[in-house]
Chains A and B, each alone.
Chain A
Amino acid sequence: AQSVTQLDSQVPVFEEAPVELRCNYSSSVSVYLFWYVQYPNQGLQLLLKYLSGSTLVKGINGFEAEFNKSQTSFHLRKPSVHISDTAEYFCAVSPNDYKLSFGAGTTVTVRA
């Protein structure tokens, strides 16, 4: 079985400041890891994914994440946020089957 813990439910941040969203997972098998973003009244959009290879993953909109197997973490970062980054962010894991398991989500609010 696998589970995902997003350690921060809400993250307020000022425009042009850096942001880090923390995600830890537990799994007894190898997993694939994803970050999705959901803007208000929208569906989910894939930001980035880790399937294998380099542990530093770059995604869209200037986001990146680092896979740390020993700490079972997959934290998301952006060096400088914009107002348009205000959204809900979901970390998700998928072991070697069909099911995406989502974390509870982190609400990012960017203020001017």
Chain B
Amino acid sequence: DTEVTQTPKHLVMGMTNKKSLKCEQHMGHRAMYWYKQKAKKPPELMFVYSYEKLSINESVPSRFSPECPNSSLLNLHLHALQPEDSALYLCASSQVMGPTEAFFGQGTRLTVV
């Protein structure tokens, strides 16, 4: 199993809503990542978890709150988002945090209205 599974695939939320994005992998990877991708742009790193601990926060606004309940799961909790937060949110995993290949999920297309 070399898949990273993200749910939901699409999400529309209002600016006062609270929602969560979910990511799951069963490859035994110990590093997991959240990326944000705007249209026609490369992915931008948001967070890195290594061995279920938050290792890197790329100065992401607090309205985005990551969580890693166990080694297979990664969540991104969303609250009070802005329309400019609309984007494709990609989850990825790798064996460990470092210069190794990352496996990406299909992404969640988020629209904030």
Contacts and interface: CB of A to CB of B under 8 A. Distances in A.
Contacts of B107: 42-43
Interface stretch (B12-20, B68-76, B96-104): B96-104
A97 B99 contact: yes
Contact of B31 (A45, A96, A98): A98
Most B CB contacts (10 A, CB to CB) among A34, A51, A97, A99 go to A99
B105 A98 contact: no
A43 B104 contact: yes
A98 B56 contact: yes
B98 A46 contact: no
B55 A98 contact: yes
Contacts of B41: 104-105
**Interface residue tally on B, bucketed by range:** 20 to 34
Contact of A49 (B4, B42, B101, B106): B101
A87 to B, nearest CB: 13
Contacts of B56: 98-99
Most B CB contacts (10 A, CB to CB) among A45, A46, A98, A99 go to A98
Contacts of B50: 98
A41 to B, nearest CB: 8
A92 to B, nearest CB: 8
A103 B42 contact: yes
Interface in B24-79: 31, 40-43, 45, 48, 50, 55-56
B25 to A, nearest CB: 12
Nearest to B105: A43
A44 B98 contact: no
Most A CB contacts (10 A, CB to CB) among B31, B55, B97, B106 go to B106
A100 B45 contact: yes
Contacts of A94: 98-100
Nearest to B107: A43
Interface in A59-104: 90, 94-100, 102-104
A90 B106 CA distance: 16
Interface of A: 31-32, 34, 36, 41-46, 49, 51, 90, 94-100, 102-105
